Amino acid sequence: MRQTTVFLALGWLLMVTIPGVSARGVTVYIQRVVVADPGDVRLGDLMYFSGDAPLGARETLAEDVASISHHILYIPSQSYLQRVGDAFGRDSIIVGSRSLVIPRGLLPDNEIPLLDRLVDFLTNTGVLGGDVADVEVRSIQVTGPLAPDIAPAFQLVRSSLGSVEASFSAASDAGQASGRVILALKGDTQSTSAEVRSNDTVRVIFHKGPITIEMSGRALASAIVGQSVNVLVTGSQKSFAGRLLEGKAVDVELP
């Protein structure tokens, strides 16, 4: 009964604070792989969209989110999700969870699909999370042909702080391929001193005027106390931005 009351109260808070949704929201597609010249990476470089984007979204899309030189960047959408949602409106739909930004000419074209699939594997196994990471390719050893539509089976050989090694095998019409990939990983330096990290369980405290509701959620990125962080509320599957407090609590002030 108490849980039902909490969800009804949260639903009421959301209804009174979120404007009526439009039937024609914008769908934003996050690009899995982006090949770019060294330099600044803008938010708009990581996505494309369908529908009529608000005029204010252009300014957000022009913002720099990272800079690349000789290493690959892993950029999860969680790191900028709130900005995109604010720019395109709450009725927008965001498809995709991350981008892999590869400096032009760094890898042969036939190795890019392999690395793309490896990143999926490392994300699913928890090696890569919700923080931006610098990825250096130390070695890619391949025996056999790498088909463009490769669907490799990976095995984690070694994973330690800042380094990961994985073996793979894949069969295609072109033949059997196998090999090993060694990567050096360097995450956001902020995450080493963070109070919470991506996927940590947190207490989400909503307040609007005299009304306060506490629910369980999980952090979508690393953060230190006093910093803004996005959280996903477990019960509603909605994300909110709030300020991290002591004791892994996130304070969300509803407008």
Rounded to whole angstroms, how far apart are CA atoms 159 and 219? 23
Rounded to whole angstroms, how far apart are CA atoms 69 and 165? 23
Looking at residues 52-70, what average pLDDT do you find? 83
Looking at residues 18-25, what average pLDDT do you find? 45
Q: What is the pLDDT of residue 189?
A: 41
Q: What is the pLDDT of residue 7?
A: 47
Q: What is the pLDDT of residue 14?
A: 47
Rounded to whole angstroms, how far apart are CA atoms 45 and 101? 10
Domains of the chain: 192-253 (2.30.30.760)
Rounded to whole angstroms, how far apart are CA atoms 247 and 226? 12
Looking at residues 16-43, what average pLDDT do you find? 75
pLDDT band at 5 (very low <50, low <70, confident <90, very high): very low
Looking at residues 37-64, what average pLDDT do you find? 86
Distances (CA, A) of 38 to 31, 184, 188, 244: 18, 19, 19, 34
Q: What is the pLDDT of residue 10?
A: 52
For 170-198, the pLDDT digits (tens) are 988 888 999 999 999 987 544 444 678 76
Whole-prediction pTM:
0.66
